[in-house]
Structure formats: C-alpha cells, structure tokens
Structure 1
Amino acid sequence: MRFILHYLGHYKKLILINICSVFGFALVELGIPTIVANMIDVGVMNQDPGYIYQMGLLIVVISVVGVGGTILLGYCSAKISTSITRDIRNDVFDKIQTFSHTEFNRFGISSLITRTNNDAFQIQLFVNVILRTALLTPVMLGLSVFLTIRTSLELSAILAGTFPIIILGVVLVAWMSHPISQKQQKSLDGLNRISRENLTGIRVIRAFNNDAYEETRFNETNDAYTDHSKKIFKLMSLTQPVFFCLMNIAMMLIFWVASTKIDAGTLQIGKLVAFMDYLFHAMLSMMLFCSVFIMYPRAEVSAGRIKEILDTDPLIKNPEEGIHVQRNMQELAFNHVSFVYPDGEEKVLDDISFTAKKGDMIAFIGSTGSGKSTLINLIPRFYDVSCGSITIDGIDIRNFDLSVLRDKIGFIPQKANLFTGTIADNIRFGNRNASDEEMKHSADVAQAAEFINNKPLKYDDLITESGTNVSGGQKQRLSIARAIVHHPQIYIFDDSFSALDFKTDAILRNRLKAETGDAIVLIVAQRVSSIMDASQIIVLNEGRMVGKGTHQELLKACPIYYEIAASQLTKEELGNA
C-alpha cells in the first residue's frame, strides 16, 4: 500500500478535489431520502401541495448538484489513476534501462513486459476503485448508519447484525484470492513468454513442423491462466448474491418490525421510506468498501512485482562522480582480466591481457564457447570483470560515466537488431544529428547503399518489426552503417560479417580500413581469411589466451590457430603464409 501511496502523493490537489466531490455526493445522496420523508410525513399527510412543490424543487436542485459531483468524482478518479499508471510505467522503464544482462536474465523479458503493462494496469484499476469507492463508501456508510440510528434505534440493530457476516466473508475471500492472484500473474508471464518465442521463432517452428507442439504448449499455459482466473472470478462473484440475500433478509425483518411500530403509531411511513433508503446505502457502501479488500490481494501482488523491479540494485552501476571528459582515446588495455558469470561457478575468461593502440585492428578467434563474445561484452560494461581491469588510457573503465564510455564505442552484434521505422531512422540511431550526407556515406561504406537505392522509397523505406523485410546480410550492413555514422573511437564487430558473401566482405573490409584508421577495431571472427591482415590476432580456447600475434607468427607458434587455419585455407594458402 505504501508503494501506491507514494505515487498518490504526487497528485494532492486532485485528491483534495476528489475528496470534496465525495462529501458533496454523499450529502446529496443521503439528503434526498430525508426530503422525501418530509414530503410524505408533512406534505402528503397534511395535504399541503405548496410544501410538496417546494421540496420537489429542492430535490431537483440537489440532483443537479449530485450529477455535477458524480462527474467531477469520475474525472478526478480517472485522471489520478491513469496518471499514476503512466508514472509507474515510466519509472519501471527507466529502471529497466539501468539493468545489466544479469538482471534481464533474472527476470526474463516476458516477465518484464507483463509487469510493465498488465501489473501496472491492475494497480490502475485498484486506484480507480479506491478513489471512487474507498473514499466515498466510508462517508456514505458513516452518514447512513448515523441517520438509521437517528430514525430508529431498534431497526438499526437489525442492520448492525449483518455487518459482521459481510466483513467475515470479505476477509475470507481476500485470504483465499491472494495465492491464486500470484499464480495467475506468473501464468501470464509464461503466456507472454511462449507467445513471444512463438512469434519470433515462427520460421524455425514451421521448418521443423512443430506447430502442433507449440499449440499444445500454449494451450497448457493458457488453460492454467484460465483456471486461476476462473477461481478468482468465482470468489468475487459470490459477494454480490450473498450481499443481496443478506439485504433481503434484513429488509424482511425491518418490514416486520416496522409494521408493528407503524400500527402502534411510533413510526411514521415517511421515516420508514427514508430508513429503507439509508439501509440500502449503508449495505451497498459496505459491499463496495469490501470489494476494495477483495481487489487488494491482486493489486498487492502486482505492486510487489513492480516494486521488485524498482528495488533491484543493478550489478553494473554508474559511478556517482564518473569521468565525463571527452577526449581522443589512445589505448585500450586488458590487464589480467578474469570473468565469472554472476550465477556461474567456473571462469569463462581467465587471465586475459593485451593492449590495443589507436589505429590497431585486434581480432579474436577460437572455437565455439571459447569466450570471444563474452570478452568484448566487458568493454561497454554489459558485464563487469571479476578480476583484473580494463583501462582506457590508463583509467579503469568502471570510473567512466557510462554514457561517456559507451559513446566511445560502436558495437555491432552478430545478430543485428533493427527497429520499426525507416531505413534512415535505423542508421541515424547511431547519431540522431547525422546529416543526409553522413548517413549516405556510412551506408556506402557499409555496402548498403546499393540495396537501399533499389527500394521504392530508398532511405524512407520502412523496416518492419524485427527487420523481417530485409535479409540477414542487409541487417548486418545496416548495423555496420549505424556504427559508422556514430564516429566511435572503438569499433567492436562481434562476428558481424557472418551473413555476408566473400566478395561483399572483402570490399567492406577495405572500405572500413580507411574509415576506422583513427580508431581501435576489435573483431570477433570465424573466417581466418578475413583477419589475416590484423595488427594482432588473439586465440582463445576455453576462456584462456593460448596465442597472440600476427597471422604468420601464429601459424608457426600456435597449434590451435594452425588447426583452425588448416580447416579453412588451402595448402597453397598456408604455404604462402
């Protein structure tokens, strides 16, 4: 509840208006029965048409005021609840932006999406109910009980007997619904995860003819979510019939007791009419107020899931007084770097040391799982080293402000990620202020200009979600163009040429040499032919550096590198090397 109150505190003025409209609405709703009672007991019984018309006019005026209060109450409630949900989603999104890969793996992408959307929506519903009901019903309940006691203490005793039963039922429903709500939201996480995997992997699923299996997997999770939802809805649906049953029983008892009092002349008919109206408002207020507690467990689960994100302390932290000085970088160095994943036990990288100077091209090669991608992911601090240090011009990268550090880097992953929008938007993602000339130049260097110019709208042609309307090679070239237009001081290519044919690969690398001459270039590669002219080649095996040198030096001194080269090059090429 503190979590919700924290956000409510941002809208004190609207809440004050909301409270004023609540009191106004309650006074109107309970004032009309009193006026009707007087019309019956004074106007009708005394046959005074003037008094009846006067009271009728007053009812009209009060009703208009009541309608205005209802509209104002609805507006304020909707405004506050939707604004709070917006703030929560903004805070969650901002927090997620600080997460490292470790936190993403811990929560899961699907769960983060569910918490941002569905859990925030559950809080919106709850807050709206609080503002419309939780503030209104205590006022209505208190005034109704006061007026019933004032009208007839004996009849009020019947009303008082129903309240404990309603409260007991609500507590029981709330207690039973809490664990079901937790399971329901977890099932929704699973539902979103399977949906996401199915949609992104639809080609693989169809290629292996596994549509039926995926349907079964989805149906099982969907059925589990449906079962949990049914249980909650069944519990909530019990409250209304029980309420009306209790109210009808109370009304029967009241009519029975009231008939004897009217017959004895100790209760007027108008008072009975007003009492019944007070009774209805009192019990309805009690039911509505209790519905808040029925909704509370689900909102509490959602708030807890969101709060878990907001309270998470990211492993990768931006230093409070990080270095903000922008200057031309001269040297990048790994100093006895070792790395263990936060949830792992064995070292993925062990005692890696090398130095890359401005203008150098450093290539990393090795078998699958040797730690190549892990190594380069340490440079932009996707993960932090476990031992040793990575320095830029002698300064540990952990001392740099994250935005300054990452601004020095142009990262091109093996799996190119494109965003929905135009080709120009995707290239300018690397530099929002890039001119048309810069954008087109970067596309030309990346060998993307030809296929872009063949598009109907050229650079204004749309890229669909996940870039499904371009090939793998085109994605990689657009990703490379995006990095070039950024003008970084460190280029990191994580096997970013794997989808390119040999001819395009060769032309692209030649163009890159001129473009990246004043930068450090780090390349993770599988093709020996593409790194033969690297300033330095580092051979990794099971997380260890087993070779370092030029292509020719490694052929003579590193058996593992020779095996890799021999599997790709001809004997003549090996001999010439």
Structure 2
Amino acid sequence: MRLMWEYTMRQKKLLFFNFICVFGFILIELGLPTLLAKMIDVGVRNKDWEYVKVMGLWMVVITAIGLTLHILLTYVGARLNTAIIIDIRDDMFEKMQGFSHQEYEKLGVSSLITRTTNDAYQVMMFLGMLLKTGFLTPMMFTASLYLIMRESVSLSKFVFMAIPLLLIGVIVLARLSEPLSKLQQKNLDKLNMILRENLSGLRVVRAFVNEDFQEKRFKKVNENYASSSTRLFSLVAAAQPAFYFLFNIIMVLVIWFGSKQIELGTLEVGKLLSFIEYVFHALFSFMLFASVFMMYPRAAVSAQRIQEVLDTSSSIVEPEEGVIETSTHGVLEFKNVTFAYPGATESPVIRDVSFTANPGETVAFIGSTGSGKSTLIQLIPRFYDTTKGEVLIDGVNVKDYKLADLRAKIGYIPQKALLFTGTIRDNLRFGKLDATEEDFLYAAEVAQATEFISQKEHGFDEMLSEGGSNFSGGQKQRLAIARAIIRRPDIYVFDDSFSALDYKTDATLRQRLKKETTDATVLIVAQRISTIMHADKIIVLNEGDVVGSGTHQELLKNCGIYYDIAASQLSKEELA
C-alpha cells in the first residue's frame, strides 16, 4: 500500500478534486431520499400538490447535479489513475535502465516485463476502483448509518446485525485470495518466459521439428496459470451472491417490521421509504468497499513485485563526483584482474589477467569456448565489476568514471548484433544522436555496408523489423559495426563481431578499419585466426587463465594451445 500511497500523493491537485466530487455526490445521493420522504409525508399526506411540485423540481435539479458530479468523479479518477500508472512505469523503466547484468539475471527478463505490464495493470485496476469507490463508500456508509439511526432506531438493529457477518466474510476472502494471487503471478512469469523463449527461438524449434514438445510445455504452464486463476476468480465470484443473499434478507426484515410499525402508527410511509433507501446505500456501499478490499490482495502482490524492482540497487555503483574527462585518450590497462560471478567466488571465470593496450594498437583475444574472452571485455564498459584487480582507462579506474562518460569512450560491438525496430538511420543514431548525413555515409562505407544499404528501396530509411530479422546476419553485424564507428570512440571493442562475414568482406573490413582506428585502441575477440593474425598482440585464454601472449608468429612457436587452434584453421604453408 506504501507504493500506491506514495505515487497517489504526487497528484495532490487531482486527488483534491476527486475528494470534492465524492463529497458532493454523497450529499446529492442521500438528499434525494430525504426530499422524497418530505414529499410523501407532507405534500401527499396533506394533499398539498404545490409542495409536491416544489419537492419534485428540487429532486430533478439534485439528480442533474448528481449526474454531473458522477461524470466528473469518473473523469478525475481516470486522470488520476492514469497519471499514477504512467509514473510507476516510467520509474520502473528508468530503474531497469541502470541495472547491471547481475540484476537482470537475478530478477529475470520475463519477470521484469510482467512486472512492468501485468503487475502495473493490476495496480491500475485496483486504484481505478479505489479512487472511484474507495473514498465514496466509507463516507456514504457512515452518513447512511447516521441517517438510519435518525429515522428509526428499532429498524436499524437489522443493519447492525449484518455488519459483523459482512466483515468476517471480507476478511476470510482476503486471507484466502492472497496466496492464490501470488501463485497466479508466478505462473504468469513462467508463461511469459516460455512464450518469449519460443518466439525468439522459433527457427530452432522448427529446425528440430519440436513444435509438439513446445506446445506441450506451454500447455502445461498455461494450465497451471488457468488453474490458479480459476481458483482465485471462483473465490471472488462466490462472494457476490453471498452478499446479495444477506442484503435481501435484511431488506425483507426491514420492510416486514416497518410495515408493522406503519400499521401501528409509529412510523410514516415516507420515512420507511427513505429508511429503505438509506439501508440500500449503506449496504451497497459496504459491498462496493468489500469489492475493493477483495481486489487488494492481488494489487498488493503486484505492488510488492513492483516495489522489489524499485528497491533493487544496481551492483554497478556510479560515483557522485566521477571522472568526466582525462588528458590521455584510449590507454587501456588490466592489472591482475580476477572475476567471478556473484555466488560463485570459488570458481572465477578469469584469473589474474594483466595487459596494456595503447592507441594505435590492436589487441586480440582467442581461446576455446568458455575461456572467458567475452566476460573479460565486458569488464571494460562496466557491465560487470572486477572481483579483484583493476581495469584502467587513461590511468583512471573504470569504477571512478561517470558511467555515461566512461561508455562514451568505448565503441562496443556485441557478439550478437542486436538492432532495434526502426530505420537504419535510427539504429546508427544510437552511436551518435546528432549524426549528420556525412556521418552515416562515412560509417557505412567503413563498415562495408554501403552496397547493401544502397540496394534497399529506402536506403538509410529502410525499416528493420524486430531484432533486424529482415536483414542477414552479416548485414546486421556490419550495421552494428557502423553504429560504433559513427561515434568515433577512443576504444573499439569487437566481441566476435566478424563471425557472420565471409572471408573477403572480413578482410576488406579489417583493412578499412585499420585506417580508421590509427588513433584508437582496438580490442578483438575472435574464433578465426585469419581475423586476428595481424594484431599487434594476441592474448590466448584457457579456462580463464592467460596461457600465451604475443604476435601471431611468436605464439605459433611458444604457445601450444594457439598452435592447435591455428593448425585447425590454416594450411601447412600458412603455419610455416
């Protein structure tokens, strides 16, 4: 509830107008039965038709005002509710933007999507009901009880007899629904995870003819979600008939004993009619409030999940007075760097790695799968922090930089060339927001992307579908490289970024990059010897340890692991 209260209090003006509309609506709703009672007991009883007309006109006016206030209440409530949910989702998205890879692995990407969409929607539904009836019903209930007591103390006992039963019912329903709500949201997380995996890996599923397996897997999770939802909705659905049953019993008792009192002359007809209206408003208000209360456990579960995201602190902490600029540019140094994933400190991924890379140099990393190559270079832009040792850029520990300024020094091309929905131009602007047409043309030319871009109907304005699936793997890699080139960074980091290119394009691209990066530091992770054999320094990794360092020719002589990799890819003449 703290989360919802904090965000609601940000909209104080709308909250004030909501309260005014609620207060006015209650006065109108409870004023009508009072006027009706006077019309019957004074006007009709005394055959004063002029009085009846005046009361009738007042009732029409009050009804019109009540309708206006109800419309305003709905409008203001909707505006208030929407503003709150916009703030919640904006804050969640901003928070997630600052998460490190560790937080994404801990919370889960599918779960974060569910929290931002479905959980926020559950909170929105609850707040919508709360703002419309949450203020209205307690005030209406209290005012109705006062008027009930004022009209007839003897008949009011039936209402007070029902209240404890209604309270017990609401509390029991809330207790039973909370664990079901938690289970439902967990099952929804699993449902989204499987759906996301299946859609992103659809080609693999089809290639291995595993559609039936995936359907059974999804069906099982879907049935679990349906089961928890059915139990929850059945519980809530059973409450309404039970409330209405009790409601009708009370109305029958009031009418029965009220009729007896009219017969005895101790109660007037108009007062009985107004009393019935007050009872209706009191019990109906309680039922509406009970509905809000029954929605609360589901909303509370969703709010807790949202709060967990907002309360999660990133393991990558940015210094308040971080370094923004340095006198040198592009000098990279690893000093005895060891890294282990959280919870696995006994099994470091890389151990005691040290090397220096200067502007104009190309340093390459090679090794078997799982040797720690990609993990090592992800320490440079602080996707992870070192467990021991230091990573220095221009003589400053990367932990001492402002993150934006640190990453502005780096042109990172990931292993998977991830592109975003939009045009080619939009994707290249990720590297430089104020890029000019000349920048686009230059970056495309260096990345060997000019030819295929010019063949597209709309050129740089050609649309990419989600993930760039309408482009080939090699085209996506070249666009990712162009995206890094366009910002002209001090350090280029190529994480196996040439794997989808043919040998000719690879060679041409590397030759063109050499001219472009004469004043920059270049780091290359690769599996192909041909991609890195001309590097100034090659670092060979094996199970997280540096087992060789030097030029191509030096490593062929001095490093057995490097020689074995080279021998599997090069001819005997090339090895000589």
- Asked if Structure 1 and Structure 2 have the same fold, meaning a TM-score greater than 0.5 normalized by the shorter chain, the answer is yes
CA–CA distance in structure 2, aligned partners of residues 49 and 423 of structure 1: 79
CA–CA distance in structure 2, aligned partners of residues 461 and 391 of structure 1: 40
**Matched residue, 1:65:** 65
Amino acid at match of 1:175: R
Residue pair 1:532, 1:550 contacting (<8 A) in 2 also = yes
Matched, 1:528 2:529: yes
- How do 1:345-360 residues align onto structure 2 when only pairs under 5 Å count? 345-360=346-361
Q: CA deviation at 1:124?
A: 0.9
**Matched residue, 2:390:** 389
CA–CA distance in structure 2, aligned partners of residues 544 and 34 of structure 1: 87
CA–CA distance in structure 2, aligned partners of residues 546 and 11 of structure 1: 61
Matched, 1:297 2:297: yes
**Matched residue, 2:540:** 539
Match of 1:351, SS?
strand
Q: CA deviation at 1:327?
A: 4.8
Amino acid at match of 2:542: N
Match of 2:405, SS?
helix
**Matched residue, 1:34:** 34
Matched, 1:195 2:195: yes
* Deviation sequence 1:143-197 (CA, Å, 0-9, x none): 1111111010010001110111111001000000000000111111111111111
Q: CA deviation at 1:233?
A: 1.2
Matched, 1:558 2:554: no
Runs of 4+, deviation exceeding 3 Å: none
Residue pair 1:99, 1:314 contacting (<8 A) in 2 also = yes
Residue pair 2:44, 2:52 contacting (<8 A) in 1 also = yes
**Matched residue, 2:472:** 471
Residue pair 1:328, 1:489 contacting (<8 A) in 2 also = no
**Matched residue, 2:184:** 184
- How do 1:472-487 residues align onto structure 2 when only pairs under 5 Å count? 472-487=473-488
Residue pair 1:330, 1:357 contacting (<8 A) in 2 also = yes
Match of 2:541, SS?
strand
**Matched residue, 2:74:** 74
- How do 1:141-160 residues align onto structure 2 when only pairs under 5 Å count? 141-160=141-160
Match of 1:430, SS?
coil
**Matched residue, 1:244:** 244
CA–CA distance in structure 2, aligned partners of residues 102 and 250 of structure 1: 59
Match of 2:366, SS?
strand
Amino acid at match of 1:139: M
* Deviation sequence 1:61-85 (CA, Å, 0-9, x none): 1111101110111111111111100
**Matched residue, 1:206:** 206
Q: CA deviation at 1:378?
A: 0.3
CA–CA distance in structure 1, aligned partners of residues 101 and 383 of structure 2: 6
**Matched residue, 1:366:** 367
**Matched residue, 1:53:** 53
Matched, 1:573 2:574: yes
Gap change, CA 1:393 and 1:25, over 3 Å in 2: same
Residue pair 2:18, 2:76 contacting (<8 A) in 1 also = yes
* Deviation sequence 1:281-306 (CA, Å, 0-9, x none): 00000111111210110011001000
Residue pair 1:326, 1:404 contacting (<8 A) in 2 also = no
| Structure 2 residue runs without a partner (length 5+) | none
- How do 1:25-174 residues align onto structure 2 when only pairs under 5 Å count? 25-174=25-174
CA–CA distance in structure 1, aligned partners of residues 339 and 430 of structure 2: 31
- How do 1:131-530 residues align onto structure 2 when only pairs under 5 Å count? 131-325=131-325, 327-344=327-344, 345-530=346-531
CA–CA distance in structure 2, aligned partners of residues 327 and 281 of structure 1: 75
**Matched residue, 1:549:** 550
More displaced, 67-76 or 301-310?
Answer: 67-76
Match of 2:25, SS?
helix
* Deviation sequence 1:297-331 (CA, Å, 0-9, x none): 00110010000011111111111111112554141
Match of 1:568, SS?
coil
* Deviation sequence 1:434-459 (CA, Å, 0-9, x none): 11111111111111110111111111
Amino acid at match of 1:313: S
Match of 2:11, SS?
helix
| Structure 1 residue runs without a partner (length 5+) | none
Residue pair 1:408, 1:490 contacting (<8 A) in 2 also = yes
CA–CA distance in structure 1, aligned partners of residues 46 and 328 of structure 2: 98
Match of 2:486, SS?
helix
Q: CA deviation at 1:127?
A: 1.1
CA–CA distance in structure 2, aligned partners of residues 359 and 551 of structure 1: 18
CA–CA distance in structure 1, aligned partners of residues 467 and 395 of structure 2: 39
CA–CA distance in structure 1, aligned partners of residues 11 and 312 of structure 2: 26
More displaced, 164-173 or 234-243?
Answer: 234-243
Match of 1:164, SS?
helix
Residue pair 2:247, 2:283 contacting (<8 A) in 1 also = yes
CA–CA distance in structure 2, aligned partners of residues 228 and 186 of structure 1: 10
Q: CA deviation at 1:553?
A: 0.8
Gap change, CA 1:64 and 1:327, over 3 Å in 2: farther
Q: CA deviation at 1:234?
A: 1.0
CA–CA distance in structure 2, aligned partners of residues 371 and 46 of structure 1: 97
Match of 2:457, SS?
coil
Residue pair 2:328, 2:394 contacting (<8 A) in 1 also = no
* Deviation sequence 1:347-382 (CA, Å, 0-9, x none): 110000000011110000011111000000000000
CA–CA distance in structure 2, aligned partners of residues 148 and 330 of structure 1: 81
More displaced, 328-337 or 132-141?
Answer: 328-337
Q: CA deviation at 1:519?
A: 0.4
CA–CA distance in structure 2, aligned partners of residues 400 and 164 of structure 1: 62
Match of 2:150, SS?
helix
Paired residues in the alignment total 575
CA–CA distance in structure 2, aligned partners of residues 326 and 19 of structure 1: 56
Aligned-CA RMSD value: 0.9
CA–CA distance in structure 2, aligned partners of residues 247 and 532 of structure 1: 85
Q: CA deviation at 1:141?
A: 0.3
Q: CA deviation at 1:394?
A: 1.8
Match of 2:193, SS?
helix
Q: CA deviation at 1:258?
A: 1.1
Amino acid at match of 2:386: V
CA–CA distance in structure 1, aligned partners of residues 100 and 247 of structure 2: 56
CA–CA distance in structure 2, aligned partners of residues 292 and 530 of structure 1: 64
Amino acid at match of 1:34: T
Q: CA deviation at 1:393?
A: 2.2
Amino acid at match of 1:304: Q
Amino acid at match of 1:138: P
Amino acid at match of 2:257: V
CA–CA distance in structure 2, aligned partners of residues 457 and 431 of structure 1: 21
Residue pair 2:326, 2:394 contacting (<8 A) in 1 also = no
Identity rate, percent:
55
CA–CA distance in structure 2, aligned partners of residues 310 and 562 of structure 1: 50
Match of 2:94, SS?
helix
